[in-house]
Structure 1
Amino acid sequence: MVHTIQSHLLAGVPASQSIAAAQRARDLKAAGRDIVAVTVGEPDFATPPEVIEAAFSAAREGQTKYTPVSGTTGLRQAIARKFQQENALAYDPSTEILVGTGAKQVIYDALIATLNPGDEVIIVAPYWVSYPSIARMAGATPVFIEASPEHGLVPTAAQLEAAITPRTRWLMLNYPNNPSGAIASREQYAALAKVLERYPDILVMSDEIYEHIRFDGSAFISFGAITPEMRERTLVVNGVSKAFGMTGWRIGYAGGPRALIAAMTKLQSHVTGGASAVSQAAAQAALQMDPALLAQRAATYEQRRDLVCGLLAASPALDVVRPSGAFYVFVRVRDTEVLGGRPVDDFLLDHGVAVIAGEAFGSPGWFRISIATHDADLQAACTRILSAFSR
């Protein structure tokens, strides 16, 4: 009889709390509960028709075989053009670009390929749920910086300096941020880069998956483009899932230093091999589309942001952080005693609304609302939240 199934590393890693919360809401609705779910970080927009047609055409033409581990030549070239045109980053598509089955796999590739037991990874809270878990699976130790609303939920140079030790291997950045929607300015990035110049062995991961979802005319700069030195130490992660409504196509990508991309490609060759040929054809078509579509979708998210923030601002029990990007609203409960010692997601489920508790993002006392759904659900969710915190 097998007494132990999980490895010691996996045993210390929880399942994704955001995925679990979304499934819990689905289960309750299936059981007949009246639940408004604003949990899932998935666009409600469809994949563009021309992207679907490109996938059909690829399949009809026989593009249904194994692909190169690092991605098809056409897609890697399209990614390199995107980085050059939109981010002022020049990458060799043959050696400095990697395509994976989603941005999550690309992040996994990077950390597993480079970390050893005893290494440390600096992670800024609030953070995307999987960063600490992947670091732990690699045997490394997450070191957390708590970014404050007073600094726009972006770490300061002093915070970064204080977190660095001789064991620091990576700094993880994610702007526009999930869950807060914060966007780092050029000045904030420059301050962080100045600190990192004194620590040449630290790599930086800049997760830019929400790059095209920005509000109020907010500017965006890739961390890799801050200085030439940072370009040589930064892995820029992106994908087609959020901006183009292509979550199920499972295509993410990264640009970065040649040696790092080579290590990640070596790992991926043993884990999944190359991503789906049809999905890569679809992603290539998406990256070649008129960017006006992305602007239209961002404008819709901005209207939803205004709706949710306007409604929840009426509650004296809540602090609402007005996001500059992504498709989430992050809310702080001013007096957590009202929760009666319960997690905020459990508390709100009693009132018929499903959210993601801030604990999943390293921010207890907060909760995340996804605005990637239509106005009627957002209106209903906010009404129930206001009712819950008015008692």
Structure 2
Amino acid sequence: MPIPETAFFSLPKAPSDSLRIAGDWTLQHYAELRDLIAQVPATERQAFSAVDLSGLAGLDTAGGQLLAELLGPEQLQQATQNSADLSRERRTLLQRIASSCGDQPDPTKKEPLLLISLLERIGASMAGLYAHVIELLGFIGLTLSSLARNLLRPGNWRLTAIVAQIEQTAFNAIPIVALLTFMVGAVIAFLGATVLESFGASIYTVDLIAFSFLREFGVLLTAILMAGRTASAFTAQIGSMKANEEIDAIRALGLNPLEILVLPRVLALLIAMPALTFIAMLSGLFGGAMVCAMSLDISPTMYLSMLHQNIELRHFLLGIAKAPVFAFLIAVIGCLEGFKVSGSAESVGEHTTSSVVQCIFVVILVDALAALFYMEMGW
């Protein structure tokens, strides 16, 4: 093949011949070099017996990329090592380019089958779930040990922080909890009256409302609200401190972030959750009483009388007993996700969302297990 006098490399006569690189391989001559490389068939590239870089005059990153395209990463790496005349700077540049090109995926490589890819994702998800469960159990153990260590040391209690957290998690949440459970109680009363009326048993709507709110809905709705309202706040607060390196400053002062940030929130929610659950139960019963008085002609006096006669105290105790468990799990998950923030605003948002989803899932899972346990025990 005829070569013009301004060529920057000599084309071999056969694919097995050696290739001599010469001239300036710089951005200024990029278009000419691209045309010369295009003259070499794709099947004959990367198949040279030897590469001579002794005639190389100028070189920059653009020229190095063209050399990697012509020779391939492996042959460029080999040629760089075999060329003793190259300066250290050019050798380093070409080796970096060759290694970066070698990290790129091979376009000719076939994609794995859909089933293989699906199984791979399932396996990775299960491994991530296992690691997350182990991490959560470890953090629960640390929290419990720290709580037990400081329980008999009143001097270590941070009463100001606990009271401030109680105000945020309990008092400020009373309106939304009471309103939501009131409306849900009214809806359940409407549905119960509609279904039971066809059986001539509308009077048992009172029992339906009482059973549902004392055993399940009161504590469950409160826990879900706390998961969306309080767990997200815990994650955002601790995550922002992590991003601003305030937690590192706490450690630098010789203090334990677990005792300063986690324990006050856990204790506050342990106090706030049962109180909010009790308010939710009362609000749900009040909403049901309103519907019964307007639609079923059941007076408030009769409503209370039926509650007193038909509903035992154990239903209230079984429902309120789940509140501290839910409170502890919500607080621990919210704080743990805050400590896992990497430092950016995007990470704060991701872990805040993750804490809400995890809390709601764990609350519903534990509530279902508790319902099965109560049923098996005959409670």
TM-score (norm. length: structure 2): 0.22
TM-score (norm. length: structure 1): 0.21
The structure with the greater share of residues assigned to strand is 1
The structure with the greater share of residues assigned to helix is 2
